[in-house]
Every structure is written in C-alpha cells, then in structure tokens.
Structure 1
Amino acid sequence: MSKFYQLKVINTQQETNDSVSVSFDVPYELYDTFNYKPGQYLTLKFNIGGNEFRRSYSLCSSPVLEEPLKIGVKRVKDGLVSNYINDSIKAGSTIDVMPPGGRFFADVHKDNYKTYYLFAAGSGITPILSILRTVLLTEERSFVHMIYGNRKQDSIMFREELNKLEEEYSDRFSLIHTLSRSNSSWMDMWSSDNKEDFRKGRVDKAAVEWFINEYPPYAQNAEYYICGPGTMIENTKKALKGIDVPDERIFIESFGTEKVKSFVEGIENAQLTAQLNGETISTKISKGKTVLRALIDAGKEPPFSCEGGVCSTCMCKLKKGEVHMQNNLALDEEELNKGYILSCQSIPLTENVEVEY
C-alpha cells in the first residue's frame, strides 16, 4: 500500500528563474522511515482543483549529512504540478509525501576506491547532486568526473553549490558545463577571467566521447550514472557502449516528459485478476485503460507514482495473459523476461489478465 505522511516545508529557495528547491522537516519518529540512498526520489501527492495528482522528485540532499530532505523542481511547460510547486508552495506548507523509493542510487561506502562518471542535463542534476555530494563526503579515495548540460548559464540549477564543491574537492572532482545556448559570447566564457569551464553543445555522443577521453579513470573500478531526458540518455548510453562499458556499470534515471511510444486500445472489458496487499481482486478493464487505472477505479490502492513509465513504483508480475506497455523507461530486459510489467502503462491484449504485486 502507498502510505503517505504529512511533512512540513521548512524552506523554499529560487534556484533559477524557472526552478525552486523545497526542503522538508522530518519528525524524529519518522527518521528511519525516510532514510534514503543518494539518487532516490520522493513521491508527492497534491489535491489541485478537486483532483489528486502524484509526482516524483529526486532528492538532491545527502543522506550522510544531518540536513533536511530537499528536492529540486523545474517548471515544465503546461506542467500542472511543477508550476503549482513553483508558484504556491512556501515555508509552512504541508505536503503528503511517500517515503523515499527508486532503484537509481549509488552504494557509497567509506572504503570504496572508484571513479564515478556523472552525466546530467537540466533538472536531471537533482539525483546526480545527491550522489556527487555523498561520494565526495564519504569516499576519500574515489574520484568524480561530471558533465552537466543546460541551455544557458542562467538555467544551471545549483550552480553556486557545484562551484563550491569543485573548489573544495579540486583534487578529486572535475566539472564540465556544456551549453546549447549562451547568455554571452563563447569567447567571454572561455576567457581566463572565467573560473568555470563551459563547452558548447549538448550532452550527446560526441560530448561523452570527448569527456571520457579528457578525463580518463583514476580507479579502474568505474561506474556511470546518467539522468536527463530520453534523447540525452540514449546518446550517452550509446557512447558508453561504444567504448565497451558493460551494462552492469551503467545506471540510468529518466527525467523530462516522454511521449508515449505507442498507443494501443486493447480489449474491451478484459477480465482482470490481481493479487494486491493479500487480497484477490476481480474487476473489468475498460477499453484503453491500464491495469493500474482499473484497480483505482475499483476503489483499490495499488502502488504508483509517476504514471509515466519512469519510476517502477507500479511494477507487478504478469501471471496470465498478455499486455501492451505503452512506455517503459524503468524495467530492464532481464525483468521483462521474468514477466514484470509496469501496471500504469499496461493495456490488456487478451480477455483475461492476471497480475501479482
């Protein structure tokens, strides 16, 4: 069951013209419940205009510091919740928050000796920042190389904090910004008076290849963390595979609005049987509806968060029948082969479908 807790906002801060960070106070009795690994996210629930909305936002705070939970939220065009947070959430606001979740995280240990490659674009910096801070604070022998893509200089989230980390850990942390547009001339950005390194372009295949060549690993035990929109992820992974980086060393979190890759209406009134929270549920799935929505319409409380095929909160196992997943940015090939599906994206293709949460 998806359990939410009311947390009070203790601070909001304008990070850029179109983004804010939101910090939460966690009561002492909930410390264990809200313990997290660097890279994980929080799911927030809102009632806007009489309708319930859930959205997931990655934590940019570090679990090894005694600091409030903090997320970063960037405005999205026509994004109802992201705009609501930017416009309406203030210190003192109370928000329903689910405990941290997600499979995108770094296992950070004091004795590790690794090279971390971090690739971020836009608001994809939020989980990457949590990983970066935690590694630098915990693993004194590890090195971090990071490339961060944005449109312009004034759209760089957490710019001041990143600069401070680069200065403080200059012997173990390399940071490259790459910009698809610029607030000033490229000559100005590369001038000797400019302390930040800027590269022109996006985080694409060419940028990744240049970045790896420019910053070879110190420790041969290297891991690669990628967070950003779909195209950026595809290009980065393609470049890494091109230099023979194994899949088990590549960790991905997709950010940004993804178009549904394919839409199928499915079967009219398919019979759904679901094992959920120790209960066997039987209900019908209307044509074009997902397994998740059918259960919600039946008054049940299946786990879910983003409803975009990104977070894997709604994952369940298909025991019988066939479904079509409209989008899948969360499950890997091994999980798919084992029969796991994202219920928020699954449309029935057979008259009978059985799932187990």
Structure 2
Amino acid sequence: MSNFYSLKVSEIKEQTSEAVAVSFDVPVELYDEFNYKPGQYLTLKFNIEGEEVRRSYSLCSSPLFEEALTIGVKRVKNGLVSNYINDNLKVGDEVEIMIPNGRFYADVKEDNYKTYYLFAAGSGITPILSILKSVLIGEPNSYIHMIYGNTNQDTVLFKSELEKLRNEYPTRLILVHSLSKPKTSWFSSKKEFEYRKGRVDAEAINWFINEYPPYAQNAEYFICGPGEMIENTKEALKNIDVPDNRIFIESFGGSSTNNNLEGIEKAALKAKLNNEEINISIEKGETVLRALLNNKFDPPYSCEGGVCSSCVCKLKKGKVTMKKNMALSEKEVKEGYILSCQSIALTKEIEVVFE
C-alpha cells in the first residue's frame, strides 16, 4: 500500500540556475513517520495535465541537524516533474509525499570510528550531503574524504553549504571539487579554494585515495551520480581490493536503456500482493508494474525509472528482462529479485511475490 501525506512547502531556495532545494513542514503528529536515515529519499506525487506522476528525490537534509525536511531537484531535459518543480512549485503549496525510504544510507552511531569516502557527481550530491552532515555531527571520531564532480563552478550544488562545513570541520573533512570544464576566474583570488580539473573517473579515484589515505582503517565508500561515473568509481575501488560489502551505490540516471523490448503477447501474471493472489494478463511490452496498475491494483512504486527500488519483488516462476536496473545488485538479481517497473515478461507465465 502506497500511503501519501500532504506536506506544505516551507521554503524554495535556488542552488544554481538549474536546481532548487525544496523544504517541507512536517506536522508534529507525523514526526515519527517522517524520521529518516541519512541518504534516503522521498517520493512525491503530482497531478500534471490530468496525469498522476510520481518521482523520487533524495533528502539533502540531515536527521541529526535542526533543519527542515529538504530535497534537491535539478532540471532534467524533458523532465516532466523536475521541471514542474523548478518552474511552478511555490511556498505554501501542498505536496503529496510518501514517508522516507531507500537502502542507500549511512548507519550513523556516536561511537563509530570510520573513514568515509564519499564520491558524488552533479545532483548525486543530494544524498551524499545528508550523509556528510550526519557523520560530521553524529560521529565525532569519524573522518570524511569527499570528491565532488561537476562541469564548472556554476553547476556546483550546495556550494556555500559545503564550504561552510569544510570551514567548520577542517580536521575531519577533506573536500575536493573536480571540474571537467572549469572557469579559470572562479575564486582565483582565494588561494585556499582549490579544485582538480577533470571528471570523477578511475584516474581521479586512484589519485584521491593515494593523496588522502584513510585515518581509520574501518572505511566505507558511498557513490552517487550518473551510471558511467558509478561504474568507473566502483571498478577503481575493486581494483584496489575494496570489498563489495563496503561499497554503497545510488544511481542518478545515465545508464543505458533498452526501449526496444516487446516481450510475450498476453503473458499470464500471477502475483502475491498485500496477502492477495492476483491473476491477470500482461500486454506485449507492458511491465509487471504497469499491468497491475492498469488493472486497478496498488503495488508499491515510486520513480518508475529503475532507480529507487520501491517496486522490487521476487520472481518465483518464468523469465523477465529489465529495461533498466540501477537499484539492484548482481547478487540480488541472481537471487531472483526484479524491479517490477522495468520487467517485461519473456515467458508465457510468470509469478512474482511482493514481500
């Protein structure tokens, strides 16, 4: 069941010409419902031109700071919801929002002694910023080494907030900006501000870790950005023998999509959802999720982009292919988990369970 709550927009703050931070008031009676872990996301629901649409946006606020529930939203080319938020949303508007969710988060504990390596690119900074702030205030014995990639100075999200944090925690926070096409005049008079020219790629990762080795040997690695950046970073980490269970990934798009998949005509779908057994057919090219929605059922979902994992279910019978997968690990896929919003039937019968 997808439960939404109406929250009022309390502030909209421009971050760049292409992005805003949107804050929401949470009524006292919903404080417990909207408690969250640093790195999680919110799912927003809008009715745009008569169509219900949902999108997931990561929280850039920290549950340990005294600050409003806040998301960062960057324009996307032809992005229906992201552009609607940037162009039309106003302070005082009420938005339908699901409680925080997501498996990309830091387990912040006061007695932890860790080194956190944070890798972000573009709007991938939003959950990383939440983790960054939470660790700084919630783990006084931990250290953060962060590299953040952008095109140039004008595209850096949360620029002033990041600089403020670096100044407040100079012994515990290392922050390197990596700009692929920097403007040479930016902060040219401020020698204390430095950036590396280039993308966040394998070369950058190797340089960064060699330049800034861990203080605490107990290290964790958080990556958020477009698909290519994630793959490059993950490969670089694996090449220096970082174990998989210490690498945490959240993708913000950019992976390849196969939109030419058609699947089987009139496949039979058996689904267990909310303790109910459902038997319906799937039209050719229709995803498991869309088949359920079109038949008036209420499966869990958020982004329909293969990113958030809200729609995950387990394949018990048959075979499907996913158009896009930026949420499930190879291990989870091998165990039979699929994203229902991306899964098209390849056999006459399939069976899934929403756990």
- Same fold by TM-score, threshold 0.5 exceeded? yes
Aligned pairs (5 A) from 1:240-259: 240-259=237-256
- Give secondary structure in 2 for the equivalent of 1:145: strand
Q: State which of 283, 298, 313 in structure 2 corresponds to 1:286.
A: 283
Aligned pairs (5 A) from 1:238-317: 238-261=235-258, 263-317=260-314
The answer to whether 1:205 aligns with 2:202 is: yes
**How far has the Cα of 1:327 moved from its partner?**
1.3
AA aligned to 1:49 is E
Structure 2 gaps of 5+ residues are: none
Aligned pairs (5 A) from 1:162-177: 162-177=162-177
**How far has the Cα of 1:339 moved from its partner?**
1.3
Asked whether the 8 Å contact 2:255–2:326 carries over to 1, the reply is: no
Asked whether the 8 Å contact 1:38–1:106 carries over to 2, the reply is: yes
- Give secondary structure in 2 for the equivalent of 1:211: helix
- Give secondary structure in 2 for the equivalent of 1:100: coil
- Give secondary structure in 1 for the equivalent of 2:196: strand
| Residue number in structure 2 paired with 1:54 | 54
AA aligned to 1:114 is K
Determine the C-alpha separation between the residues in 2 that align with 1:258 and 1:305: 18
| Residue number in structure 2 paired with 1:95 | 95
The answer to whether 1:338 aligns with 2:344 is: no
- Give secondary structure in 1 for the equivalent of 2:170: coil
Aligned pairs (5 A) from 1:78-227: 78-184=78-184, 193-227=190-224
Determine the C-alpha separation between the residues in 1 that align with 2:219 and 2:254: 30
List per-residue Cα deviations over 1:154-210 (Å, max 9, x = no partner).
Answer: 11110000001001100100000010112225xx76x57333221101100100000
Determine the C-alpha separation between the residues in 2 that align with 1:337 and 1:145: 33
Determine the C-alpha separation between the residues in 2 that align with 1:58 and 1:50: 26
| TM-score, length-scaled by structure 1 | 0.97
AA aligned to 1:166 is R
Determine the C-alpha separation between the residues in 2 that align with 1:309 and 1:327: 6
The answer to whether 1:36 aligns with 2:36 is: yes
Asked whether the 8 Å contact 1:55–1:81 carries over to 2, the reply is: yes
| Residue number in structure 1 paired with 2:12 | 12
RMSD of the TM alignment (CA)? 1.2
Structure 1 range deviating more: 119-128 or 175-184: 175-184
- Give secondary structure in 1 for the equivalent of 2:83: helix
Determine the C-alpha separation between the residues in 2 that align with 1:338 and 1:100: 26
AA aligned to 1:345 is Q
**How far has the Cα of 1:261 moved from its partner?**
4.0
Determine the C-alpha separation between the residues in 1 that align with 2:181 and 2:76: 19
**How far has the Cα of 1:337 moved from its partner?**
2.1
The answer to whether 1:323 aligns with 2:320 is: yes
Percent identity over the alignment?
A: 65
Determine the C-alpha separation between the residues in 1 that align with 2:5 and 2:189: 50
**How far has the Cα of 1:257 moved from its partner?**
4.5
Asked whether the 8 Å contact 2:253–2:307 carries over to 1, the reply is: no
| Residue number in structure 1 paired with 2:26 | 26
Asked whether the 8 Å contact 2:41–2:59 carries over to 1, the reply is: yes
| Residue number in structure 2 paired with 1:232 | 229
Determine the C-alpha separation between the residues in 2 that align with 1:192 and 1:210: 26
AA aligned to 2:167 is E
**How far has the Cα of 1:299 moved from its partner?**
0.5
| Residue number in structure 2 paired with 1:67 | 67
- Give secondary structure in 1 for the equivalent of 2:140: coil
Asked whether the 8 Å contact 1:318–1:339 carries over to 2, the reply is: yes
Asked whether the 8 Å contact 2:287–2:341 carries over to 1, the reply is: yes
- Give secondary structure in 1 for the equivalent of 2:15: strand
Determine the C-alpha separation between the residues in 2 that align with 1:262 and 1:207: 33
Asked whether the 8 Å contact 2:253–2:326 carries over to 1, the reply is: no
Structure 1 gaps of 5+ residues are: none
